[in-house]
Amino acid sequence: MNPLDLLLRVGPAIQVVFRLGYEPKWELFYELTPDQYQQLEKEGKDLSKRWFTIIPKNPKHDVPELLIFDANEAKTLMDAAQYVNNLCEKAEPQDQFLSFDDKLKYAATVLPTVFSQSSKYAEKKTPYLKIVK
């Protein structure tokens, strides 16, 4: 991924992934209800697009507000998660990542702080190490 694409297209989505705290996958996206589409119309959104919200499998990580994405934004969000996965594939040792949360902790230490600010990962400034027993 070229730096410009990372900064302009995927960068904002990486910030959302940090805020979510879990890996967005297509099966977690649900199309809005007719009532929600009516609300979008009142807000002046383009109703020719399909709109989705993301509902986590584990609600304890839920973001307080309802996040709304069109199909392109949802795809970009999944691209951002893939970027985090790719970043972690380059780390040594790779078995240190038992979950996507572990990957986000690591990514927060190697990516510029602008990506993880306003998330629970923002304060992770020391190198990511895992104690092995």
- pLDDT band at residue 128 using 50, 70 and 90 as cut-offs: low
Tell me, what amino acid is at 117?
A: Q
Among candidates 120, 96, 91, which has minimal Cα distance to 15?
A: 120
- pLDDT band at residue 16 using 50, 70 and 90 as cut-offs: very high
pLDDT in tens, 75-105: 999 999 999 999 998 887 766 898 999 999 9
pLDDT in tens, 45-65: 999 999 999 887 666 655 556
13 and 1 Cβ atoms separated by less than 8 Å: no
H runs (alpha helix) in the chain: 3-5, 11-20, 34-42, 71-89, 100-110, 113-116
At residue 69, φ and ψ (nearest 5 deg) are -135, 145
Nearest 5°: the CA angle 43, 57, 129 is 110
> How is residue 30 annotated by DSSP?
E
**Alpha carbons 51 and 33: distance in angstroms, whole number:** 9
What average pLDDT does this structure show over 14-21? 92
